[in-house]
Amino acid sequence: MVLKTSSSEAAELGRRLLVELDRLGIEPVLDRASAAALDLDDGLDRSELTAAADLVVVLGGDGTLLSVTSGTIGGTPILGINLGTLGFLTEHPADQLFPMLVAAVEGRATLERRERLEVAVSTPGKAASVHTVLNDVVINKSALARIVVLSMRVDGQFVSRFKADGLIVATPTGSTAYNLSAGGPIIHPTVGVIVVTPICPHTLTNRPIALGIDSVIDIQLESQSEEVFLTLDGQKGFPLTTRNLVRVRRSPDPVFLITEPSRSYFQVLHRKLKWGERGG
């Protein structure tokens, strides 16, 4: 179990979940921060939960769920309960927690595969650092920095040299995150593509491009700047220099989200993006 630790609602629901798990004879496993929020002593590192559990229940928002999906998943399903604001990933309301939990325990839950991206950042003479994201990889400049120049190759072939505020490489799951704000397309989560969206491009013909899911994307900073950063799922980031090569490819370890079969993705879009609603 993982909680949004700043939420009293998540803590209260977490206590109720512990009681229900005890009733069902299921041993709970929590990360350290969630355990502390519930006044418990034991806990694992959050990235280790999926390896230690048969099911991960997330009580919070999309950010809380993303904090779980940076490590090894190994097929462990994730049930996201929305106690945040938008909630594309944690799509289930709090009153659905216990029915969805029982369905998962009884093997009746519907799982939806979500592709992740593997991000390798290499520097000459050093071992590459490798990360995994569910939503997106973002390269962007600071507020005061000038436009940056980023070159991109796909499967070894030169694609373009982007002059922009930055670049977003997103999964279909991440298409409704920063990609959407930057004018990128909404992609159904089961479609096998990677979308690359420039952020405020200097050349207006630099538009978002959808690539095959098995594409290997190499991005390199060409402009000299000390204020360019790589951000992974909005959870962690670090500065980039012209000596770094960022390689993005499909991860062999996807995420499996528990979904409600009677609720379509388009219903989620209608509810979250308020499509079709009349103005006041």
For 10-45, give the secondary structure using H, E and C.
HHHHHHHHHHHHHHHCCCCCCEHHHHHHCCCCCCEC
Task: Determine the Cα angle at 62 with ends 265 and 2, to 5°.
Answer: 120
Would you state the structure tokens that stand for residue 77, as one six-digit string?
């399903």
d(CA 242, CA 142): 16
Measured CA distances, 168 to 39, 87, 95, 162 (Å): 39, 20, 35, 12
Q: Report, in angstroms and rounded to the nearest whole number, the Rg of the chain calculated over CA atoms.
A: 20
CB atoms within 10 A of CB 104: 18
d(CA 236, CA 63): 11
Long-range contact pairs involving 260-267 (C-beta distance under 8 Å, separation at least 24): 260/91, 260/92, 260/96, 260/100, 260/110, 261/110, 263/91, 265/188, 265/189
Report, as residue numbers or ranges, the catalytic residues.
Answer: 62
d(CA 224, CA 141): 12
